[in-house]
Structure 1
């Protein structure tokens, strides 16, 4: 045994985690900062690596403390760290007394590194067993009069300016194990605590909150603190670990705080975190689209990234005396919870009305004089000549398909210059302008008739008119994939029994029979799930998700459920509804009815174009990705990155720095670690304040719909079937007749619709991709069903009503799977 196998807490600092583990490192740092921490020592990872408890040194350290009762706690090297707390995963032994008992408790703590809880936690957090060492902390027990747990941020709402304390009489284990209902206290920074009672007095609550703020400052992040008052009333801090479940904070260095942010990535089917380069490029797409400036940097941006998600700053609109009254109504498209959060913010004095508009006069002139005229002209042309407008849009996309970056031998700097210059010019230039006219016209014709016919036609009727729409590029893509599956039927066993990943590898090696996939990928290979993130591989690079969908289609045995027949039934229902609704509308409201009928007829020619703008700009986007991979490959060859796709974990300026000579490997490793953490996050705040508050979490829970889960009606119809909960479409399997339950959807998900009987999603909008395509296939869809992927389990029998926006769990899982 070495001299560093047992170390006193007074000698430990935070940079000693590899030797003493997270818990001991934090305790040592607290003691060094002057906090009152029970005396003790640490049996280090060096001892654990030797495999034998250094009994003599442990006994000597225990006796040097004066013996008596001690707490023996694990302190693993992956424990109490910013991304993984391991709270309660390894064992703790309290009231241990006697040298032999202490040595035995240390040994049992070692053994707990591989208990079922710890193994499952490591697996869930992607932590390898070989990367974890075990240390053990031995501390003098505090004879507690009161004890408990303190969070220096509200764990339920995420508010960083609030301290939450739970306290009980006696030892704090009753709080941790939930055996006793504790007294609860909250203290907001800069304010006195609320009226106190229970086992703590006001002075104790104030002192605890002050200690919590000190620890938050010391460690630079919100802390989960265990504490105790001894019989003399002295406060002892027993341990402090980061609160690892909080959603990251928005920018703190902007003027005019607080800010109110709304998560908008879900409108593009994007709830997973963006890669850093993907987020920065999408922000530039937005900024350059509206400003036309090549330098798209903005010191106070309208769109920001938080936790890798895309948020829009609504604060200027909430504070505008001219616009604030319209903001809440405009949120209906995002769902009732977002609207309720916005209405709550309108009552917050921090967002009080101010004179004027949220834009400068120059910005208004730029938008009015630049984007709006061309959009208005395009809409008018499309309404007058829909076929010609569609043809013009198709020609524009054909031109975009010819966009190519620098060829072989080009330098990384030249490729990056092309991505940041000519590629943006092509993606956001005249060809996209040619597309947006029929796209906007499609949105108008698809949404205005319902408003004109209120009281004359039901929402179900106006939605039915939008079923089976032609000219939707996403529907056309899915039907093209169905035709690929039809050609694959002669090789059914190959495509249904071989894993999609293996099929993908064999296809890329040219080892599969020709089923028409080359032609499909020529047209649609630039697409994928989460496709607005340039850091996500396209189907052309990895067609495994395509093969997974082909296998799903091959399992469809009922010819009447074939996608082309379902689409045709939806088309026929739409035409029949329009034929019946038109005369009724004109009889009831001659002028408005006639306008509505005209728009509904035009919707059959234009509303399907709603998907085309995104499809168009993703064409050069895929070439930009190809060029960036070539940049990454060059940088990897030069030792500044580890692999080509590391380039997507840098922002644009950081890629530029790498091209100019900076080694970015350490930065990429850290970014990948954070990205993996965010990929595991199941819930993302829909609305967020600067101090981290999830606004929806502060609101009263909505009344439960009788007999069901409330949501928003997004595609008419009713269906009953077993649920299939899918978190990622890659490799997902949807049996014919199942109800797809998903966190969100984008065009990369829609091939799954073709075997599904219905759709339930946690986010979305009636005009977003998923509901649009669901209407065209004639399958019912209910969106904005809170926690659907958690509350509903695979195998549950669901009844989905796309007209009323409700989902009923008829009974639990029939197959016992989940």
Structure 2
């Protein structure tokens, strides 16, 4: 005997019955503990058996239909529906139905919904196209079952299936869900991801009364957007005049919303969180984002009415690209050459760092794809592939969640971690090896921290000597490309030591902050910031050098006048020619110091890690602009570190574990100092790459391989080596350059997103992060205070530090900064950055220079108007606006 009626009692025995998407999802939800109104399902076998008598006529009508004609569609639809409505139910089906309904005496009213086999699937939804009837009485059920079957042949459904072409009518029989009717106080739909506003957002539409009004756009509704990374709500509350409610004769009717409810939010705060919890529970059941219909009854009980996949979001892995931290070093659009070096850099240094920390080789090898893709290249910008960074931390045997939290604090990102990222679990042997080796290696390098960095400088000094030994003018393109490939490989492998140090910096900074907070020392956060300042770190040595030059210019009006006029002579925009001209004009002391500075620190310039950017070595006029602007402003007085030390010693008299606290502070200072020293050295070696590329470009122009020497930056390191070795897929580098130049112009027209979300193939399915609407009435902003000081001044929005910018005595506001901005920082009265953390270079240098600094101020360049008066508190991270603006 065929079982036509499926319910919770017999679903296990008939799991393969054709129930349709809607019914199958309801059973799945119910089985997993989701609160679903009680229901039974008339399987699609009943549809097939009952309509078999009209099958031939239905096929003939479909074959005769002109799908381009509404009149034809309407006539065919009407004829087929008439045939189905006149079909008789078999005695067997009728008996099963009556038996099931007799057991449902407690149900007064029903909802009767179609559930086609291909409905609510991952590829096709048929959303709202098949029939649903609400508040159906017991004696109407058989008629409404037939009506559901007939709805499969509505004109809209016929058109949908004709255009899809992959779904045939005979393969899409209709099951029917008969469900207890919920008398809803409020109802709506919930999208677990919003493809229009970004898949990092959950969207809820809510209205009063039955959900039919919301899904059918018949009533006004509120929209609630939940930003998952920040856990922030955006409420769009509308005036609601109408709702759909029960009517004893027609089933439903439109009614007026009570006056006192019209302007009120439909959902309370607790109901919003209840829906979030339901979404989380449903997310554990499905591996695709869901479109969920829900209702709160008159008693406030939440019911899930149905759930179906969101078909407009592509399949595949979800990836999150975040420019936190990396944007400090690689702001804006960067060339393919720069990105190819960046990618190699992160790959080799991460492999080395994991080995140094005792992670088994087998674990590292199994995650080679992860390590090769720690960074992404989206619209010409560099991003962290943040999920792959989380996967790296999941290889550690201890405190994975805590380390991820510390990492997020270090780079300044919102939490995006998901348990689904733990997709390559360690074997028992690997877990044992990690559990033993990680603490051993961690302690080893902690005790030999200085030795680790000393070895790094020994290796990189050898690379520097090898570079300086090359006769660039006499070396062929073949040899130069070979040298570039060799130096990039050697240096990026050496960078594992600085990355290992960064791990210690991250850990010690976080633990020290927690330890300071635990001591109950008054204003412990600010005290720690003061203690971390004035360490004579390497990043400030170029500042000390440049201050010597500034003091000479400040006290020599003749030199100042000459420097203002010399920039009108382009032929002097080379270090050798410029210093020679200064000697000839009688400014020998200044010329000697300038040459020394450029020789030692000429690579330390804005965008110093970007291959195509000009440094002070390539364009000393950039440095002269800084000197002239700085000469008219006194340098800030250094922070009195002894005051901070005295304050610490005073408080530690009354604090337990003072030795531990001082040791943590020492290790934090040590790791930060090493971080800045190695960053300066990194800039130096990247300048070697830049020099090699310049000479390679000139050789390839001479060989007619590329048109201009700067075209070299539109290629990659591997493409150059493939061209050299004869294993490239093309030898036409000019065409590659031309295509990429055109692409770069397109990228430059696009606004940089802080985060980019994708699902599936990245370049095919990029979904931009559309941030929550900015408010226009903000009077204050909040960030992370890094360097103490109260400032009230004019704000200057800085996009490009290389431009001639009037920043003297003003508050510099930027999306990000890199260490090369330090010269501009010295001119400003205060620093505000959208990105960054307490360990970012902006924060470190701001502390060292004694400049009030706030980082991590979201959308600061949108909220703060250029030229407006603002106040900032570098201690608390508060910013007060005199004038603000809203993003268009």
Smaller-chain TM-score bracket: 0.5 to 0.7
Give the drift of 1:283.
1.4
Residues 292-307 of structure 1: pairs in structure 2 closer than 5 A? 299-300=369-370, 301-307=372-378
Aligned mate of 1:493, from 558, 561, 571 = 561
Name the SS for the 1:721 alignment partner: strand
CA 1:363–1:426 in 2, change beyond 3 Å: closer, same or farther?
Answer: farther
Aligned mate of 2:735, from 655, 666, 671 = 666
Q: Which residue in 2 is equivalent to 1:449?
A: 512
1:258 and 2:318 matched: yes
Using the alignment, how far apart are the partners of 2:624 and 2:711 within structure 1?
26
CA 1:763–1:544 in 2, change beyond 3 Å: closer, same or farther?
Answer: farther
Using the alignment, how far apart are the partners of 1:696 and 1:334 within structure 2?
24
Q: Which residue in 2 is equivalent to 1:597?
A: 662
Whether the aligned pair in 2 keeps the contact of 1:320 and 1:356 (CA below 8 Å) is: no
Whether the aligned pair in 2 keeps the contact of 1:266 and 1:764 (CA below 8 Å) is: no
Q: Which residue in 1 is equivalent to 2:824?
A: 752
Residues 484-521 of structure 1: CA distance to partner in whole angstroms, max 9, x if unpaired? 12223322234357769959627563364252221101
Residues 602-621 of structure 1: CA distance to partner in whole angstroms, max 9, x if unpaired? 76677434311122233232
Residues 321-366 of structure 1: CA distance to partner in whole angstroms, max 9, x if unpaired? 9776346523541577x33444xx45xxx65877548997799699
Q: Which residue in 2 is equivalent to 1:172?
A: none
Using the alignment, how far apart are the partners of 2:548 and 2:608 within structure 1?
23
Residues 528-584 of structure 1: CA distance to partner in whole angstroms, max 9, x if unpaired? 22222333333211233322211220221xxxx424xx22xx1x2x21121122231
The TM-score normalised by the length of structure 2 is 0.55
CA 1:523–1:763 in 2, change beyond 3 Å: closer, same or farther?
Answer: same
Q: Which residue in 2 is equivalent to 1:309?
A: 382
CA 1:269–1:716 in 2, change beyond 3 Å: closer, same or farther?
Answer: farther
Aligned mate of 1:803, from 875, 878, 882 = 875
Aligned mate of 1:157, from 176, 186, 198 = 198
Give the drift of 1:717.
2.5
CA 1:541–1:371 in 2, change beyond 3 Å: closer, same or farther?
Answer: farther
Whether the aligned pair in 2 keeps the contact of 1:403 and 1:623 (CA below 8 Å) is: no
Aligned mate of 1:617, from 660, 668, 682 = 682
Whether the aligned pair in 1 keeps the contact of 2:328 and 2:818 (CA below 8 Å) is: yes
Whether the aligned pair in 2 keeps the contact of 1:496 and 1:554 (CA below 8 Å) is: no
Using the alignment, how far apart are the partners of 1:700 and 1:415 within structure 2?
50
Q: Give the aligned CA root-mean-square deviation in angstroms.
A: 5.0
Q: Which residue in 1 is equivalent to 2:221?
A: none
Give the drift of 1:303.
1.4
Whether the aligned pair in 2 keeps the contact of 1:504 and 1:542 (CA below 8 Å) is: no
Aligned mate of 2:333, from 264, 273, 277 = 273
CA 1:447–1:158 in 2, change beyond 3 Å: closer, same or farther?
Answer: closer
Whether the aligned pair in 2 keeps the contact of 1:555 and 1:735 (CA below 8 Å) is: no
Using the alignment, how far apart are the partners of 1:355 and 1:605 within structure 2?
34
Kindly name which structure, 1 or 2, has the bigger radius of gyration based on alpha carbons. Answer: 2
Aligned mate of 2:529, from 454, 463, 470 = 463
Aligned mate of 1:639, from 697, 704, 708 = 704
Using the alignment, how far apart are the partners of 2:667 and 2:292 within structure 1?
61
Residues 151-190 of structure 1: CA distance to partner in whole angstroms, max 9, x if unpaired? xx95543899x9xxxx999xxxxxxxxxxx9xxxxxxx99
Using the alignment, how far apart are the partners of 2:437 and 2:723 within structure 1?
36
Size of the aligned set, in residue pairs, is 568
Q: Which residue in 2 is equivalent to 1:766?
A: 838
Unaligned runs of 5+ in 2: 1-66, 69-193, 204-215, 219-238, 240-286, 295-309, 356-364
CA 1:437–1:289 in 2, change beyond 3 Å: closer, same or farther?
Answer: closer
Using the alignment, how far apart are the partners of 2:823 and 2:874 within structure 1?
20
Whether the aligned pair in 2 keeps the contact of 1:736 and 1:757 (CA below 8 Å) is: yes
Q: Which residue in 2 is equivalent to 1:531?
A: 608
Q: Which residue in 1 is equivalent to 2:793?
A: 721
Q: Which residue in 2 is equivalent to 1:521?
A: 598
Q: Which residue in 2 is equivalent to 1:339?
A: 414
Using the alignment, how far apart are the partners of 1:359 and 1:759 within structure 2?
50
Whether the aligned pair in 1 keeps the contact of 2:753 and 2:769 (CA below 8 Å) is: no
Residues 460-485 of structure 1: CA distance to partner in whole angstroms, max 9, x if unpaired? 11111122221x12211112112112
Q: Which residue in 2 is equivalent to 1:577?
A: 644
Give the drift of 1:631.
1.8
Q: Which residue in 2 is equivalent to 1:688?
A: 757
Aligned mate of 1:541, from 614, 618, 627 = 618
Residues 669-698 of structure 1: CA distance to partner in whole angstroms, max 9, x if unpaired? 221232233344433233533357889947
The TM-score normalised by the length of structure 1 is 0.59
Residues 300-336 of structure 1: CA distance to partner in whole angstroms, max 9, x if unpaired? 5341322231323425846959776346523541577
Whether the aligned pair in 2 keeps the contact of 1:282 and 1:532 (CA below 8 Å) is: no
Q: Which residue in 1 is equivalent to 2:851?
A: 779
CA 1:428–1:497 in 2, change beyond 3 Å: closer, same or farther?
Answer: same
Whether the aligned pair in 2 keeps the contact of 1:529 and 1:729 (CA below 8 Å) is: yes
Give the drift of 1:812.
6.5
Residues 197-240 of structure 1: CA distance to partner in whole angstroms, max 9, x if unpaired? xxxxxxxxxxxx99xx9xxxxxxxx9xxxxxxxxxxxxxxxxxx
Using the alignment, how far apart are the partners of 2:850 and 2:835 within structure 1?
20
Aligned mate of 1:652, from 710, 714, 717 = 717
